[in-house]
Chains A and B, each alone.
Chain A
Amino acid sequence: GAVVSQHPSWVICKSGTSVKIECRSLDFQATTMFWYRQFPKQSLMLMATSNEGSKATYEQGVEKDKFLINHASLTLSTLTVTSAHPEDSSFYICSARASWEANGYTFGSGTRLTVV
Chain B
Amino acid sequence: QKEVEQNSGPLSVPEGAIASLNCTYSDRGSQSFFWYRQYSGKSPELIMSIYSNGDKEDGRFTAQLNKASQYVSLLIRDSQPSDSATYLCAVQNSGNTPLVFGKGTRLSVIA
Give the B-binding residues of A (Cβ under 8 A): 6, 31-32, 34, 36, 41-46, 49, 91, 93, 95, 97, 103-105, 107-110, 112
Q: Which residues of B contact A32 (CB under 8 A)?
A: 96
- Cβ of A50 to closest chain B Cβ, rounded Å: 11
Chain B residue with Cβ nearest A35 = B98
Report the stretch among B12-20, B40-48, B65-73, B76-84 that lies at the interface: B40-48
Q: Are A46 and B43 in contact (CB under 8 A)?
A: no
A-B contact pairs, 12 of them (CB 8 A): A41-B8, A41-B103, A43-B4, A43-B88, A43-B103, A44-B44, A44-B99, A49-B98, A93-B43, A97-B96, A107-B44, A110-B43
User: Are A109 and B96 CB-contacts (below 8 A) given A43-B103, A104-B49?
Assistant: no
The answer to the question of B101 belonging to the interface, with a C-beta cut-off of 8 Å to chain A, is yes
The answer to the question of B25 belonging to the interface, with a C-beta cut-off of 8 Å to chain A, is no
Q: Which residues of B contact A6 (CB under 8 A)?
A: 43
When chains A and B are docked, how far (Å) is the Cα of A91 from the Cα of B41?
A: 8
Q: Which residues of B contact A97 (CB under 8 A)?
A: 96
When chains A and B are docked, how far (Å) is the Cα of A113 from the Cα of B53?
A: 40
User: Are A103 and B98 CB-contacts (below 8 A) given A44-B88, A109-B42?
Assistant: no
- Cβ of A95 to closest chain B Cβ, rounded Å: 7
Q: Which residues of A contact B44 (CB under 8 A)?
A: 44, 93, 107
Q: Are B101 and A44 in contact (CB under 8 A)?
A: yes
When chains A and B are docked, how far (Å) is the Cα of A98 from the Cα of B43?
A: 18
